[in-house]
Amino acid sequence: MSKIIPYRTLVRQQHVNFLRHKRREYQEREDYLVRLRKLLFKIEAQMRQAEIQQLEVFRELGTHFKVSLQFPDLGDRLNFQRLFTSNPFLGALQEFFAGRLTADECCDRILTLQEESSGP
């Protein structure tokens, strides 16, 4: 003789199975997000390192041409943007690096800026 399962038990079991399924789904997404966050953190660290290396190029050029450069804190992106748009030396270097100036033109512009700043 077969045993009759009460409706309430069936509904409860359906709820339990649904909850287990959703937990697996959630956990898979959560694991995926954790992996993405780790990857993003690594990429962000590599980007920060590359940005610092780029700033070092500007520092070296400033030292070479005896131009005093005061960079803001690394996290202060707004003041970095202001510095690069307002400083004619950095502007000339950016144009050179972007390929809009040749090395000769860039050198001439920097020397002109130095003459103007030390002029009468």
Task: Name the residue range of residue 37's domain.
Answer: 1-64
The answer to whether residues 10 and 29 belong to one domain is yes
Residues near 51 by beta carbon (within 8 Å), at least 6 away in sequence: 74
Number of independent structural domains in the chain: 2
Angle at Cα 65 formed by Cα 60 and Cα 66, nearest 5°? 90
The answer to whether residues 47 and 33 belong to one domain is yes
- Does 1 score more than 80 pLDDT? no
The answer to whether residues 58 and 91 belong to one domain is no
The answer to whether residues 58 and 75 belong to one domain is no
| Entry pTM | 0.69
- Does 51 score more than 70 pLDDT? yes
The answer to whether residues 5 and 48 belong to one domain is yes
Chain-centroid distance of CA 15 in Å reads 44
Looking at residue 119, its pLDDT comes to 62
CA distances from 38 to 6, 26, 42, 78, 79 (A): 48, 18, 6, 27, 29
The answer to whether residues 20 and 71 belong to one domain is no
The answer to whether residues 50 and 86 belong to one domain is no
